[in-house]
Amino acid sequence: MLYSVIGYYSLILGLCFSLILIYFSIINFRNSKILDTKILSFTFLQFFFVIISFLCLVLSFVFSDFSNETVFNNSHTTKPLFYKIAGTWGNHEGSLLLWLFVLTLFILIFFLRSKNQPIKYKILTLVFQQIIIIGFFVFLIMTSNPFNYIYPTPEEGLGLNPILQDPALVIHPPILYLGYVGSSIIFSSVLAATTLNMISKNWASHIKKWVLISWFFLTIGILLGSIWAYYELGWGGFWFWDPVENVSLMPWLALTTLLHCILVLEKKLILTSWVIILSITTFLLSMSGTFLVRSGILNSVHTFASDPQRGLFILIFLFSLIFLSLFIFFFFHKNNENNLSSFFWLSKETAIIINNWFMMYFLSVVLIGTIYPIFLDVLSSQKISVGPPFYHKLIIPFLIPFLLIMAIGPKLKWIRSNLENKIYLISLLVISILLSYLIVKNFEYNFLINSILISSALYLFFMNLRDFFIQKYQNISQNISHFGFSLLILSILFNNLFSTEVITNLKVGETFESSKTKIIFENVSQRTGKNYESIIGNFSIQNSKGKVENFLPELRIYNQPNIVTSEADIKTTLISDKFIVINLVQNQDYFNIRYQVKPFMIWIWLSVVLISFGGLISLLKKKYEK
């Protein structure tokens, strides 16, 4: 109980410091010759009290303090210590406290790392960030208090959802939140710079670091979530267009587009309106995701419990931020950029703008596919789900020109370019077309679209591969990220084309046999974990070449809450993943078996790591590439 009291009043003090900071910021803004040292002191104190509050919640979980309602609802004495700690942010209240922790941390770092920036700009950025922070403080204290008290104190808790008890999901939310919350600094900074008419090349260089930080963590966070869903949920795939997956993808698309616009703004005073709109859009999409996940509107395995009061608060807060952003954009933005008509049709700027249009189209498709079922349900009470076919049909045709422009664009020069002495552009395209024809000629379905898509992906792959040998260390971060993206597209295409699946029901001792696969259900065994009982199936699987491998998928029956989960057994090589999962069939004495061969799965994960690594190199370089 002591931790809950300290944690709660630390939140109250943190909110008080937010109000004090806004007061002193307004005074200092009027007389901005020298930055008031009290502002930095109060910013540090605010961060300190949020840390205290967060640590109190962590300790409440560690010591199983069930007088705390959040701990009672999300922990259990038999849970391993590792997952007790993870339970801190594995729930609605704790995850919002983690958001607040990162918000206060980032504004403190921003202040410490922006010593050379104008004082008015720093103060105004702090004010806008404090508006967001105050919103989260009020949200936590009024509707989502992580320190609510239960009396009498229960002897045992309800436990954490077993599918959340996984190492990948322990680190996935904090890293994802670093990406989400990083966009808040971009949002506050762009509002401050717009108000002061400071959008310039120098400002672009300054804010690019924060764009890269946010983009890097968001990319890694999405990767970890995808890996977790792949092996833990038993779906056997890397992406299913689940609404909550889409919620993280949308700000990533906006942030990636913003990053490229910032690169152009550094070279030439253009695209200022694009930069402002994308900066605002990225953070608002992150906030929208928070609203959709926590309001109970979305039906997904990832969502938190629904609460109309919470959903209404976030909705009002979100619309307030939208109104503030629009007001500042329309009343303070002065378009001092060079005329877009000065663009030469064949230049790097033009290629970036065209690909930005494609990225905005992809973002629109994902946004519509995510929110359309919600509006349809509200207007007509008709429930539908938008699945992969919708996204594939709308995205794949436009992915082809996107990849081609992405391949050619980096080879062009800034301002003005030409295609003289670039015969390799045509020769590599011909090679890509021939290779794609050889790859898909044995497939009878969608031959045309697959061959064109693989051709464009191979073309991007070869163009980036060439850059490693020709340019060597020039534009190394761009080359690595683009090469990783081309590898990602190719891996996804080959994974979809060459995947095989067997779904059958088997009793112990039975055999399933097809022309390519023989599955023998040898036996079952049992094992006891700390907070679950495990049923392990022993399978021998023989492929068409006669090679036999043993697999040991599990069913885990958790004690609190009493839930059965499937644990896949996956054997990974550089060529493919072999994936098997078993499920109980209710009131029957046989098991449902799903066995999949998923080619190039590891290359999907490695390619995203490469994409992220390219951004990390760009972030760590003291002087950015010319």
**pLDDT tens string 568-585:** 899 999 999 999 999 888
Gap between the Cα atoms of 117 and 63, Å rounded: 45
DSSP 8-state code for residue 184: H
Residue 626 included in any domain: no
pLDDT at 622 over 80: no
> Same structural domain for residues 184 and 296?
yes
Query: What is the rounded distance in angstroms from the CA atom of residue 419 to the CA atom of residue 422?
Result: 6
What's the rounded mean pLDDT across residues 64-81?
88
> CA of 382: how far to CAs of 193, 372, 385, in Å?
45, 11, 10
Confidence of residue 625 (pLDDT cuts 50, 70, 90): very low
Give the angle 131-276-316 at the CA atoms, nearest 5°. 35
Residue 586 and residue 528 share a domain = yes
Peptide bond before residue 561 is cis, with ω within 30 degrees of 0: yes
Is 340 part of a structural domain of the chain? no
Which of 326-340, 428-442, 517-531 shows the lowest mean pLDDT across its residues? Answer: 326-340
Quick one: tokens of 169? 């999901």
Which of 61-70, 87-96, 99-108, 555-564 comes out lowest in average pLDDT? Answer: 555-564
Q: Is the pLDDT of residue 306 over 60?
A: no
Q: Tell whether 125 and 4 lie within a shared domain.
A: yes
- 69 and 202 in a single domain? The answer is no
CB 321 within 8 A of CB 285: no
The predicted pLDDT at position 280 comes to: 95
- Does the pLDDT at position 564 exceed 80? yes
Distance CA 542, CA 550 (A): 9
% of the chain exceeding 90 in pLDDT? 46
Separation of alpha carbons 272 and 254, rounded Å: 15
What is the tally of structural domains in the chain? 4
Q: Is residue 327 part of a domain?
A: yes
Whether 413 is in a domain gets the answer yes
Q: What is the pLDDT of residue 624?
A: 42
> 473 falls in which pLDDT band (50, 70, 90)?
low
The answer, yes or no, to whether residue 68 has pLDDT greater than 80, is: yes
- Cα–Cα nearest to 598, from 495, 519, 516: 495
Residue 616 within any structural domain of the chain: no
Report the 10 Å Cβ neighbour count for 146.
27
Query: Are 248 and 376 within one domain?
Result: yes
**294: region left, alpha or beta (phi > 0 left; psi from -120 to 50 alpha):** alpha
Question: Domain check: are 250 and 365 in the same one?
Answer: yes
Distance CA 183, CA 337 (A): 24
pTM score: 0.91
Q: Give the model's pLDDT for residue 449.
A: 77
Mark whether 547 and 521 lie in a shared domain.
yes
Domain that holds residue 94: 1-165
Is residue 341 situated within a structural domain? no
204-218, 234-248, 284-298, 334-348: which range is least confident on average?
334-348
Are 11 and 150 found together in one domain?
A: yes
Report which of 546, 564, 548 is spatially closest to residue 556, judged by C-alpha positions.
564
Of 134, 165, 196, the residue at which a domain comes to its end is 165
Let me know if residue 15 belongs to a domain.
yes
Q: How confident is the model at residue 586 (pLDDT cuts 50, 70, 90)?
A: confident
pLDDT, position 626? 42
Distance from C-alpha of 78 to C-alpha of 108, rounded to nearest angstrom: 38
Tokens of 372: 């359309």
In a shared domain, residues 216 and 124:
no
566 and 589 part of one domain: yes
Q: Is residue 4 one of the residues assigned to a domain?
A: yes
Q: How confident is the model at residue 57 (pLDDT cuts 50, 70, 90)?
A: very high
Whether 426 and 505 share a structural domain: no
Rounded-to-integer distance, Cα 401 and Cα 387, Å: 24
What lies within 8 Å, CB to CB, of 433 at 6+ separation is 451, 455
Same domain, 74 and 197: no
Q: State which of 169-173, 298-302, 416-420, 622-626 shows the largest mean pLDDT.
A: 169-173
Mean pLDDT of the chain: 86
The pLDDT assigned to 53 comes to 96
Asked if pLDDT for residue 340 goes beyond 60, the answer is no
Question: Distance (Å, rounded) from C-alpha 397 to C-alpha 358?
Answer: 11
